[in-house]
Amino acid sequence: MSILNIVPGQLTLADLRRVSRETGLQLQLDPSSHAAIDASAATVARVLSEGRTVYGINTGFGLLASTKIAPEELELLQRSIVLSHAAGIGAPMDASTVRLVMALKINSLARGFSGIRRQVIEALVTLFNRQIYPVIPQKGSVGASGDLAPLSHMSAVLIGEGEAFVDGVRVPGAVAMRSAGLEPITLAPKEGLALLNGTQASSAFALEGLFAAEDLYVSATVAGSLSVEAALGSRTPFDARIHEVRGHQGQIDAARLYRDLLAHSQIEQSHEDCGKVQDPYSLRCQPQVMGACLTQIRQAAAVLRVEANSVSDNPLVFAGDNDILSGGNFHAEPVAFAADNLALAIAEIGSLSERRMALLIDSNLSKLPPFLVNNGGVNSGFMIAQVTSAALASENKSLAHPASVDSLPTSANQEDHVSMATFAGRRLRDMAGNTAGILAVELLAACQGIDFRAPNKTSDKLETAKGMLREQVSFYDKDRYFAPDIEKAAALVASGRFNGLVDGEVLPSL
C-alpha cells in the first residue's frame, strides 16, 4: 500500500502527480497538524461566545453578509449553504480530478486557518482512502468566491446529501458515508463555508493540465528528435554555444535534451558530408520554441505548487491573534493565468509537431518516399493523417484563447470580478488530447522515415523510443485501416513512458 503523509503546506508537485495518477494511494494527515486545526476551531467557538458578528459564521453570504443569523440557526446556515450552492452542471469530474480536489482541500483545511474541526477533515481523508469519490459536475464555477458549486457537491456527501461513486456505482451521499463507515456530519459554524470556499477545483484541473503538458513535452522532444533523424537534419542548431549566448534557461535545457537524444547515431554519420546548409524552422528552431514552452510550463508549475499549498477559503481564522479576517484568497486569478500559459505551451507543442510531420511527407524536403509509403498512387500513406494533425492543431488555436481575460459579475454584483480559472484549467484536457493525437501522427511518420533509412540506425535512446512504438504499431508497408495506429500511438504519448528517456530534473513534477 502506497501512503502519502500530508504535512500541511508541504505538498510537492510530484506528490500531486501521484494523487492524480495512483488509484490506490492512501492519505494520512501528519499529527503535527492537529494543534493548529484544533486551535482554529476553538477560536471560532470563542468568537461566537463573545457575541461578535463575523461574516460567514453568524451572517448570510455574499450580498446577504449584513444579515445576522440567530444562534439557533447557525447549524442550519452551514447546511443550507452547502445544499444551495451545489448547483453544478455537466458530466462528473473524472476520479483522478476528484482525488486532486479532495487532497488539495484536505491540505488547505489542515493548515489551521479555516476554523474547521479535525473530524471533518478526517472524514474527507477516509472517503479518499476508501476510493469513494463525490459526484462533482465539471461546470458551474467562475473561479472566484471559490469554486463554490464543485466544492459544494464534494461537501454535500459529508452531510449525507448529494451523490458519490462507490466501486464505480453512483449512490446517494448517505449510502456513500455508510459505505465508508461514517455517519453524516452536522456542520458546526464556519465549516460549510470553509469546505466550499477555495480554489481546489480550478487548481485540480490546472494541475492535471500541467502533468499532461509535461508528458507531452517529453514526447514532443522525442518525436522531434526522431524527425530530425528521418529528415537527415543537421545537428548544428543544437550546439550548446548557440543557446548559451542567448541566455534563456528553458532554451538551453531544451537544446541539451535534443543533444542527448540524438547522440551517437549511424544516420547522422551517414550524411555528415551532405552539404545541406539549413533545415526548415520546424527542425532547426526546436530548442527556441520548445525552450519557450518549457519556460511557460515551469512558470505555471511554480504558481500551482504555491496555490496547492495555500489557504484560499474565507474568512480566515488567526488563532494566535484571536481574530477572523475576511479577504479574497478565493479569487483564482493566479490559477487562471497559469492555466492560460499552459494552454499556450500545449498549443505550440502541437503546432510545431504538425509542421515537422508535414515536412516528412513532402519528398522535396525530406528526400523520403512521398507520403512515406512505397508504391505511391496506389497507396496514399500518411496523406490524411497529416490532415488530422492540421485539424487538431487548428482546434487548439481556438482553445488557447485566454480564459482569464473574461469576467461576468455574480451574486448581484457583490462578486463583480471573477477569474474563470475553472474553465481555464478544464479546457486543458481537450487540448492535451488534441496534442497527443498530433504527436502520435508525427511519431508514426518519423519512425516510418527512420525505417526507410535502414540499415543505418538512430541513437540508442531513439531506437528505444522507436521500439516502444513498434511494440504497438508495425511498419506501414501498404494502406491499411489507419485509425487504430494513431490511437495506439496517442496512448503511448499519454502514458508518459517516454519520460524515462530524458533528464527528469528538467520538468517540475517528474
Catalytic sites, residue numbers: 55
Residue 47 one-letter amino acid = V
In whole angstroms, what is the distance from residue 131 CA to residue 123 CA? 12
Query: What are residue 3's DSSP bridge partners?
Result: 26
In whole angstroms, what is the distance from residue 251 CA to residue 240 CA? 10
Instruction: State the Cα angle at 434 between 289 and 223, rounded to 5°.
Output: 50
Instruction: State the Cα angle at 510 between 151 and 253, rounded to 5°.
Output: 125
Instruction: State the Cα angle at 378 between 377 and 379, rounded to 5°.
Output: 85
State the residue for C-alpha cell 464543485: 150
Other CB atoms within a 10 A radius of the CB of residue 137 amount to 17
Which residues make Cβ contacts (< 8 Å) with residue 427, sequence separation at least 6? 343, 399, 403
Of 108, 105, 117, 206, which is closest to residue 151 (Cα–Cα)? 105
Instruction: State the Cα angle at 201 between 343 and 298, rounded to 5°.
Output: 40
SS3 content of the chain, % helix, strand, coil (to 5): 60, 5, 35
Which residues make Cβ contacts (< 8 Å) with residue 412, sequence separation at least 6? 62, 63
Q: Is 341 strand, coil or helix? A: helix
Q: Is 263 strand, coil or helix? A: coil
Q: Please, what is the end-to-end C-alpha distance for the chain in angstroms?
A: 21
Q: How far is CA 483 from CA 86, 332, 437, 478, 489, in A?
A: 40, 39, 11, 14, 10
In whole angstroms, what is the distance from residue 295 CA to residue 301 CA? 10
In whole angstroms, what is the distance from residue 215 CA to residue 204 CA? 17
In whole angstroms, what is the distance from residue 15 CA to residue 430 CA? 24
Alpha-carbon Rg for the chain, nearest whole angstrom, is 26
Helix (H) or strand (E) holding 89: strand 89-92
In whole angstroms, what is the distance from residue 510 CA to residue 504 CA? 5
Within 13 Å, how many C-alpha atoms sit on residue 307's CB side? 31
Residue 407 burial by Cβ neighbours in a 10 Å radius (0-12, 13-18, 19+) = middle
Are residues 469 and 277 in contact, defined by beta-carbon separation less than 8 angstroms? no
33 grid coordinates: 497538524
